[in-house]
Structure 1
């Protein structure tokens, strides 16, 4: 077991069902989504297939390991499963047939040169016959391995997003563009009968979001006046981003939470289109 927390970290969001018992981690899956400045956390009751906790923290010096040292259950061992996704543009998707284990660094170097503080990893998408190669902070990967061992699994957040989309879409779902704005970045996915496009852009303004949305629609022959765009992520119906999107794209709608899983009533306090990639770690 981890040492007793020395302090209580300040949180941006903390929602816990009264049935959640951190003293019994084996009954739960722990899902983490880590960005440069935020950590998003969710806990799912394995037996009931139900999310019973949702939390959000601003990361300071020391990142997730430092936060875990102050948190009441982040450093606990013995979870049923732990899945940690990292955000960022340092990733590439490859056809599974073209990938060979050991070639991760070579494949990623075409898009991103890893720094000395980064580790290159990969995960597979059997349903899409793809491999996701990505870079992650070495201190974060070391913390995951030392704290959670074989129970822990590291992924790129696009893997979670794609898993959620595949889970939610029916076999006959129409070709569609999906947006997932995050902290200073925008993930865009186009999926029809198969995945056609997936990329992450750096975005700091509402105009950036609209620019990349229209650019991708034009490149993939999607019509802003006809084709529907589904949005998840960190924005509100009255935000500048959503208002500007509706100016240029006629059919914009917010997406629902992933289905076939239950959510504590405590989570009714947040918009259903928030945390889609975090919740989608349940299907990875």
Structure 2
């Protein structure tokens, strides 16, 4: 693609006013190929805007340093041309994608050892910046690395924002919704450009979380079936819920239906509230961004 961003989603309620950002909360998600963000009004207690743009063809985060630098330059350019995003907000949360992460139980966590925890689980560039996030719902810490060029953009434009890892944001969104749900061992699959996450709950607690790379549809289905097998979960009766870059009429969804009996798309209760006219067909793509808990 060219250097111009491609708008994928753009919905704003009539109540949205760029001048009144001090009354709103902003949630931003830096994806492997672009940027998505939502605006929450505390005055009316609902979302009044959501937008998603494509900045890079394919996953910039799984490419070389040149691609990552190009992505960060396009990200800067987009932010500078959309100045209202940089206005003062009541609260700003920023979700960043990183395939390099690990989880540590709260009782065992030592902040001074976060780089060691990550090095034990992953090989990563020492120029990357290591961050930590406490997952209150899971009583665990998530340690992750962010590419230096992306981290510089975050510090330059959103230095005071609450920084969240993409898997951490999903866990903090999913667990409160399903902690007291009747579903047994629900499995959540969040699909992105070039990678996807699998999160599994058991009796309202986090049982499993991991991310995988994928290119062909068969890759994703293989890893999912493998994880279910390792956790002794039967594809015939386990509920699998999907979010992210996936369409109901896609070949990937059709393939999943061949191997998983109970597979469906996640539904967000925020969409049912009056406000932004976001089609139901899109709500599962922004499940983590439409979480008022991130606006506190």
Q: Following the alignment from structure 1 to structure 2, what is the Cα–Cα distance between the partners of residues 183 and 281?
A: 25
* Aligned pairs (5 A) from 1:65-104: 65-76=76-87, 78-104=88-114
| Residue 160, structure 1, aligned to residue 156, structure 2 | no
Residues 263 and 154 (structure 1 numbering): CA distance in 2 closer, same or farther, change over 3 Å?
farther
Please name the residue that 2:200 is paired with.
190
Verify the 8 A CA contact 2:270 2:290 in the aligned structure 1: no
Residues 187 and 16 (structure 1), Cα distance of their counterparts in 2 relative to 1, 3 Å cut: same
Give me the whole-angstrom Cα distance separating, in 2, the residues matched to 1:149 and 1:263: 33
- Alignment equivalent of 1:171, drawn from 167, 180, 191: 180
Normalising by structure 1, we get a TM-score of 0.89
Question: Are 1:277 and 2:288 counterparts?
Answer: yes
Matched-pair contact (CA < 8 Å) for 2:93–2:294: no
Counterparts of 1:122-271 in structure 2 under 5 Å? 122-150=132-160, 152-173=161-182, 174-193=184-203, 194-259=205-270, 262=273, 264-268=275-279, 270-271=281-282
Secondary structure of residue in 1 paired with 2:180: coil
Question: CA 1:240–1:9 in structure 2 vs 1: closer, same or farther (change >3 Å)?
Answer: closer
Higher mean alpha-carbon deviation, 106-115 vs 228-237, is at 106-115
Quote how far apart the aligned CAs of 1:75 are.
Answer: 2.3
Q: How does 1:12-27 map to 2 (within 5 A)?
A: 12-27=8-23
> Which of the pair is proportionally richer in helix?
2
- Other-structure match for 2:66: none
Instruction: Give RMSD over aligned pairs.
Output: 2.3
CA offset at residue 207 of structure 1?
Answer: 0.7
User: Deviation of residue 63 (structure 1)?
Assistant: 4.0
Contact 1:11 1:58 in 2 (8 A): yes
- Would the aligned equivalents of 2:49 and 2:276 in 1 still touch at CA under 8 Å? no
Unaligned residue ranges in structure 2 (runs of 5+) = 57-69
Is there any run of 5+ residues in structure 1 with no aligned partner, and where? 1-7
Contact 2:12 2:276 in 1 (8 A): no
Q: Which SS does the other structure have where 2:224 is aligned? A: helix
**Residue 48 (structure 1) aligned with residue 58 (structure 2):** no
Residue 241 (structure 1) shift:
0.8
Contact 2:32/2:192 (8 A) holds in 1: no
- Is the 8 Å Cα contact of residues 85 and 157 (structure 1) preserved in structure 2? yes
Contact preservation (8 Å) 1:258, 1:279: no
* 2-structure distance, mates of 1:186, 1:258: 23
User: How far 1:9 moved relative to its partner?
Assistant: 5.3
Cα deviation, residue 178, structure 1: 1.0
Q: Residues 101-112 of structure 1 correspond to what in structure 2 (within 5 A)?
A: 101-112=111-122
Aligned partners of 1:259, 1:162: CA distance in 2, in Å? 17
Deviation at 1:259, TM superposition (A): 4.8
Aligned pairs, how many?
Answer: 276
Aligned partners of 2:30, 2:289: CA distance in 1, in Å? 10
User: 1:137, CA displacement in angstroms?
Assistant: 2.7
Aligned in 2, Cα 1:130/1:119: closer, same or farther, shift over 3 Å? same
Answer whether contact 1:36 1:59 (CA < 8 A) is retained: no
Residue 258 of structure 1: how far off its partner (Å) = 4.7
CA deviation after TM superposition for structure 1 residue 130, in Å:
0.5
